[in-house]
Amino acid sequence: MRHDAEQLRQYALITGNYWAFTLTDGALRMLVVLHFHTLGHSPLAIASLFLLYEIFGVVTNLVGGYLGARIGLNRTMNIGLALQVAALALLAVPNAWLTVPWVMAAQALSGIAKDLNKMSAKSAIKLLVPSGGDDRGAQLYRWIAALTGSKNALKGVGFFLGAALLATFGFRGALLGMVSALLLVWAASVVLLRRDLGKAKRKPKFRDILSKSRAVNVLSAARLFLFAARDVWFVVALPVFLSDALGWGFWAVGGFLAAWVIGYGAVQTVAPYVTGLAATQKRSTLPDGRTALGWAVALAGVPAGIAIALSAGLAPTIAVVGGLALFGLLFAVNSALHSYLIVSYAAEDGVSLDVGFYYMSNAMGRLAGTVLSGWAFQAFGLGSNGLEACLWISSACIAAAAALSVALPRHGPDAQPVAVRDMGD
């Protein structure tokens, strides 16, 4: 009982740490997009500000999983918090200093910070779930869904917070406030997190950063396309479209995107029940590759449907707002399924290696989506035509994720989720 209480305490600490970081990450994204849009930067130029954020996220997830296994997840999580403080401070400078290279460098630090923090949090959960009983898989699914869903809900709050702080205190004032708050969280995390959390018993070699599991590799590829599909229209095209084409102000754009992400996070927290995890916690109800395929197919038609509605002349507000609500619901379930499957597939010893590799693919998808969002929205017109182009690309990416999901492992009616060590190469 004492051991389980300590596991729960560490889970609460990691979740609180992740929550605090997520608030600043969401706020910073909205601050940068809206502030630099008002300064007259084009959508492609705004997208370029996040290039190093996403590129360094790819590298960080790949190397960060290796570091987590060698030095411990507590250290990688605290390093991530410290780097986020540094990134925010670098942007809290006079406007004359905020050149594109300067902002890109600060965003690079933030990208490293975000993915160190996320990889550490997601990896640690597998190690903290109580090991007793036959329902460990169900418990793992619920814990992962709760962490992921609450994080995304708070990211939505962060979007609103960023817009509100920008409108109230200006760009620099908002950043300085976030620096002060995050420093307090970092200090508490350094003192309270368990020192040996996530250290592998067998010291991994650097070549171990590449996963040897077919299931992890296939799921990682599907994750790449899934997140490219979201960010190709969500990162740049959507907020600029709402601001320019529909005439929404900072508060409206920030509030709407915040509400969307909060709802998306709320759906993720109940994903275990939406996908059929019964109250009886029978192992047969745990998701597998077949589940991931079905939900990806359901999602694929939504962006195409929004694009068709826009081209048919349906009121943009109805088409985009209604379509985005449905997209958010289905995307949330898809994302929660993937988050559970990777932790389920990951090896117990050195779990951060497999999780880091998977989130490297996640970051590659965000990078591709961010670049395509700025390029397609600008190339096809800063209005409905540009947004439609982004939506068609989104639909094609989800179709690719669905096709890849066909190759994910499936288990029989009484089988547990397949573990990495049981899959071979």
pLDDT of residue 4: 62
Question: Which residue would you say has higher pLDDT here, 126 or 60?
Answer: 60
d(CA 157, CA 350) in angstroms, rounded, equals 33
Mean pLDDT along residues 325-352: 83
pLDDT one-digit tens code per residue, 130-181:
655 546 677 778 878 888 788 778 887 887 888 888 888 888 889 998 999 9
pLDDT at 418: 39
Query: Taking 80 as the threshold, does the pLDDT of residue 22 lie above it?
Result: yes
Task: Check residue 87 and give its pLDDT.
Answer: 93
pLDDT on residue 280: 40
pTM: 0.74
Per-residue pLDDT tens digits for 255-290: 788 788 888 888 888 888 887 654 444 444 678 889
Q: What is the pLDDT of residue 394?
A: 95
d(CA 44, CA 370): 9
The confidence score (pLDDT) of residue 48 equals 78
Among 103-107, 348-352, 381-385, top mean pLDDT goes to 103-107
What integer pLDDT is reported at residue 200 of this predicted model? Answer: 60
For residues 67-83, average pLDDT: 84
Does 23 score more than 80 pLDDT?
yes
pLDDT tier for residue 398 given thresholds of 50, 70 and 90: very high
Q: Quick one: pLDDT at residue 277?
A: 57
From the CB of residue 95, how many other CB atoms can be counted at a distance below 10 Å?
10
Average model confidence (pLDDT) across the chain: 81
Percent of the chain predicted with pLDDT > 90: 23
pLDDT band, residue 222 (cuts 50/70/90): very high
Neighbour tally for 96: CB within 10 Å: 6
CATH code that applies to domain 2-198+206-422: 1.20.1250.20
Residue spans of the domains in the chain: they are 2-198+206-422
Each as own residue / partner, the long-range contacts of residues 338-341 (CB below 8 Å, 24 or more positions apart, any chain) are 338/219, 338/222, 338/223, 338/226, 338/292, 339/122, 339/144, 339/145, 339/148, 340/140, 340/141, 340/144, 340/145, 340/271, 340/272, 340/287, 341/219, 341/287, 341/288, 341/292, 341/408, 341/417
Q: Is the pLDDT of residue 417 over 50?
A: no
Mean pLDDT of 84-94: 92
Containing 407, the helix (H) or strand (E) segment is: none
CA distances from residue 358 to 38, 137, 372 in whole angstroms, order as listed: 36, 19, 21
Does residue 112 register a pLDDT over 80? yes
Q: What is the mean pLDDT of residues 299-309?
A: 95
Question: Could you report the per-residue pLDDT of 177-203, keeping only the tens digit for each?
Answer: 899 999 998 988 888 777 666 566 666
